[in-house]
Amino acid sequence: MAWAHLPGHILQWEALACPPVIGFLVGLVFLVGLVRSVRSRLYVRREALLAKALAAQIAETGQLVDTLSAAEEKCAGIRSALAGALQEGESLNIPSLARACREVTTTYWVLKQEIRSLVQELEEERAKCSRQGAEMVEMLQTLESLEEVVKVSTSQAAFPSLPGCAEPSTDGLLLRSGPKS
């Protein structure tokens, strides 16, 4: 045999144990990078959803302000017309003033109802955003706990050398709190 002449110190246990350990560490680094990537994507997605919701609320508020300013201008025009008629001493046209009063009152109540519905929708959107924020915090905490499990498992040598080519199983890692006795 050709390798019978080799000295015994060439096939030391370090030469046999180092490649699997290095492979495990590279896999662990890849897993940590993957977890961070997923976490980053979730954060970006959540931020985009919140930006869209905020833009929609700002647009609704702008429409409400425009409607309110138009109603105020109309009301101011009617008041100035009435004041002008009183100052000039003209005879009052009671039916037209009554009709104008009904129109202003109707417009007032319609706008008030629209404002109430928009305020209610805004409150519902805010509640929805806060629920989504709480869900996001919960997901981030879950990810952090998974990262802790990975760190703990690597620091405590949770995967001792396995016989043959068996893959390490993570089934028991999430349920136990420390190394097995």
pLDDT for res 36: 92
The span from the CA of 79 to the CA of 86, in Å, is: 11
| Measured CA angle at 161 (ends 158, 165), to 5 deg | 120
3-state class (DSSP) for residue 170: coil
For the chain, the residue count is 181
Can you tell me which residue has the tokens 């302000």?
A: 65
pLDDT for res 13: 67
* Lowest-pLDDT range of 32-36, 64-68, 98-102, 169-173: 169-173
| CA proximity to 122, closest of 167, 170, 37, 57 | 57
Looking at the predicted structure, is the pLDDT value of residue 14 above 50? yes
pLDDT for res 35: 92
67 touches 114 (CB < 8 A): yes
pLDDT for res 52: 93
Q: What percent of the chain has pLDDT over 90?
A: 28
Q: What tokens appear for 144 in the block?
A: 């952090």
The span from the CA of 145 to the CA of 137, in Å, is: 12
| CA proximity to 121, closest of 72, 51, 68, 53 | 53
pLDDT for res 177: 47
**87 vs 105, which has greater pLDDT?**
105
64 touches 114 (CB < 8 A): yes
Q: Which residues contact 75 (CB under 8 A, 6 or more apart)?
A: 104, 107, 108
The span from the CA of 64 to the CA of 59, in Å, is: 9
| Per-residue pLDDT reduced to its tens digit, 16-61 | 778 888 899 999 999 999 999 998 998 999 899 989 999 999 999 9
Report if pTM > 0.85: no
| Per-residue pLDDT reduced to its tens digit, 96-139 | 878 888 998 999 999 899 989 989 998 998 999 889 999 999 99
49-58 long-range Cβ contacts below 8 angstroms, 24+ apart: 49/132, 50/129, 50/132, 53/125, 53/128, 53/129, 56/125, 57/122, 57/125
pLDDT for res 144: 92
